[in-house]
Amino acid sequence: MKTTGNTILITGGGSGIGRGLAEAFHALGNQVIVAGRRQQVLDETTKANSGMRSIALDIESAAQIGAFAGQVEQEFPALNVVIHNAGIMRPENLHAQQDDLADAEATITTNLLGPIRLTAALLPLLKRQRTAAIMTVSSGLAFVPMAATPTYCATKAAIHSYSQSLRYQLRETNVQVLELIPPYVQTELMGERQAKDPRAMPLDSFIAEAMEILKLQPGATEICVKRVEDLRYAAASGKYDDFFKAFNDAVAA
């Protein structure tokens, strides 16, 4: 993926990793559009970055995604990059689950159905561009799940699988498919505590390393910073079961 000369849509672009990516691409001279549910957060981001644009989007709403895609095509006909960053992460006690699976259902709709629906809606536009890219955002937890957030981890594993299939199906088109695999990063994905957790990778360091990989490896299919490699390649190490137990025991401690 080229890092300049693009028109880029980033979902969940008003905060966290999404905002970090938006500002990094904006600084390189790309036209960046951030999308998300919270208009105030989007406004704060665009106000701080002159020329950046925003469009409100509830990624859980299938009907809204169709209308949103039409608006994007009308206002930004040169759109050639979509970054599926919007996501939610909620702890779940599986012992206590009964009829109300609202957290699990919202997580699946936001993290998995949202990117699938938006890809379907925008793919015709992307295929009309000379060069285009779709970047999904999975997680190191797609490869070693954190047991306390089972549905989140399952959706990220599904996004990894979906990305591989999408890449293969689009192999003879102009649309490149990349997967960004974040480690534990200092964002507010699970609240203020995560944003200040010294065990998490600082957001600016993560964005800088990810952007450097994109610049140096334009043909890369996975953007995998050093900090996440233990999770990404746990299965290949041959010691997955021990790693899974040690990882989850440490999280639970």
* Domain residue ranges of the chain, discontinuous segments joined by +: 7-252
pLDDT of residue 99: 77
pLDDT of residue 126: 98
pLDDT of residue 205: 97
The stretch 177-200 carries a mean pLDDT of: 92
Task: Tell me the CA distances in angstroms from 95 to 92, 148, 237, one per residue in order.
Answer: 9, 11, 31
**DSSP H or E stretch at residue 8:** strand 7-11
Task: With CA atoms as reference, report the closest residue to 222 among 185, 177, 157.
Answer: 177
Q: Tell me the per-residue pLDDT of 5-33, one tens digit each, with 9 for 90 and over.
A: 999 999 999 999 999 999 999 999 999 99
3-state secondary structure of 58: coil
Cα dihedral: 194, 228, 139, 97 (round 10) = -60
The stretch 144-171 carries a mean pLDDT of: 98
* Summary mean pLDDT of the chain: 96
* 191-204: burial string, b at 16+ Cβ within 10 Å, e else: eeebbeeeebbebe
Which residues are annotated as catalytic?
152
Q: Say whether pLDDT at 192 is over 90.
A: no
In order, the DSSP letters of 99-133 are: S--HHHHHHHIIIIIHHHHHHHHHHHHHHTSSSEE
Residues with Cβ within 8 Å of 190's Cβ and at least 6 positions away in sequence, in order, are 89, 90, 91
What is the identity of the amino acid at 42? L
Q: Which carries the bigger pLDDT value, residue 129 or residue 190?
A: 129
pLDDT of residue 98: 73
Assessment of whether the complete model's pTM goes beyond 0.75: yes
Token pair recorded at residue 171: 């192999």
The edge-to-edge listing of strands for the beta sheet with 222-223 is: 53-56, 31-36, 7-11, 81-84, 132-137, 175-180, 222-223
Q: Say whether pLDDT at 51 is over 80.
A: yes
CB 92 within 8 A of CB 149: yes
Q: Say whether pLDDT at 140 is over 80.
A: yes
Q: Say whether pLDDT at 46 is over 80.
A: yes
Q: Tell me the per-residue pLDDT of 70-128, one tens digit each, with 9 for 90 and over.
A: 999 999 999 999 999 999 999 999 988 777 899 999 999 999 999 999 999 999 999 99
pLDDT of residue 97: 77
- The topology (CATH level 3) of 7-252 is Rossmann fold (3.40.50)
Q: Say whether pLDDT at 225 is over 90.
A: yes
pLDDT of residue 191: 82
**DSSP H or E stretch at residue 43:** helix 39-48
